[in-house]
Amino acid sequence: MFKLPELNYEYDALEPHFDAKTMEIHHSKHHQAYVDNLNNALETLKAENANLYDMIHEKVALGEGAGLEFILTNLEVLPASLQAAVRNNGGGHLNHSFFWQTLAAEAAAQKQPTGDLLRAVEAKFGDFEGFKAEFKAAALARFGSGWAWLVKSVDGELEIVSTPNQDSPISDGLTPIIGLDVWEHAYYLGYQNRRAEYVDAFWSVLDWKQAEENFNA
């Protein structure tokens, strides 16, 4: 049902900030595993509740993002035995698909947001450097595995949040603007235990144009 998305760039396009080997393993192994495990869980659902499976399939036909959002905001309709697998692997698929879209080669990446997003950042955090400091603090404070996010609440307010494991802000009614994977598999080959350096490198490959589209959607 779900498929691994292709990247808009080569694995080495984000060098030297995100190394090619990490990108290859992260995308073709880790992300692929989330997709495979999610599909396996849904095949089990098909055998247990074909009507619900067909409903999810109809949502996915509108777009994988729509299907994933439906699943992650309606986990309670799934059998209890499948909820953890779908939450973890569905979240992993959604989070990573979002993450890849917000990255760009350094030459193509803006140094900071512009327009409405910049004004919203300055209104909430004082200035862009203040925002970066708060985002970095959230990324470093996440114990173990998880993500740091800039999100928009239902009332349009920007917030910085951190989620454990593969939990998605969408499950809490929040709209992701940017997200950073702080699982060790995302950076350990290049940065070992130096997560702070990895967070700093993120700004060099972040596609602010895509972030602005996410904000204005």
* DSSP string of the chain, one letter each residue: ---PPPPSS-TTTTTTTS-HHHHHHIIIIIIHHHHHHHHHHHHHHHHH-HHHHHHHHHHHHT-HHHHHHHHHT-GGGS-HHHHHHHHHHHHHHHHHHHHHHTB--TTT--SS--HHHHHHHHHHHSSHHHHHHHHHHHHHH--SSEEEEEEE-TTS-EEEEEEETT--GGGGT-EEEEEEE-SGGGTHHHHTT-HHHHHHHHHHHB-HHHHHHHHH-
Within-domain flag for 109: no
- Backbone angles phi and psi of 150, in degrees to 5: -105, 125
Domain range spanning residue 51? 20-101
The answer to whether residue 141 is domain-embedded is yes
Ranges of residues in the chain whose predicted pLDDT is under 50: none
Spatial distance between the Cα atoms of 201 and 190, rounded to a whole number of angstroms? 11
The pLDDT score that the predictor gives to residue 66 is: 87
Assess whether 88 and 150 both reside in one domain.
Answer: no
pLDDT computed for residue 106 by the predictor = 76
Spatial contact of 146 and 162, defined as CB atoms under 8 Å apart: yes
**Structure confidence by residue, pLDDT tens digits, 71-106:** 999 999 999 999 999 999 999 999 999 999 999 987
Do residues 170 and 136 both lie within one domain?
yes
pLDDT at 109: 67
At 191 the pLDDT is: 97
- In this prediction, residue 107 carries a pLDDT of 66
User: Do 88 and 39 share a domain, yes or no?
Assistant: yes
The CATH number of the domain holding residue 50 is 1.10.287.990
Cβ(154)–Cβ(176) below 8 Å:
no
CATH number of the domain where residue 162 is located = 3.55.40.20
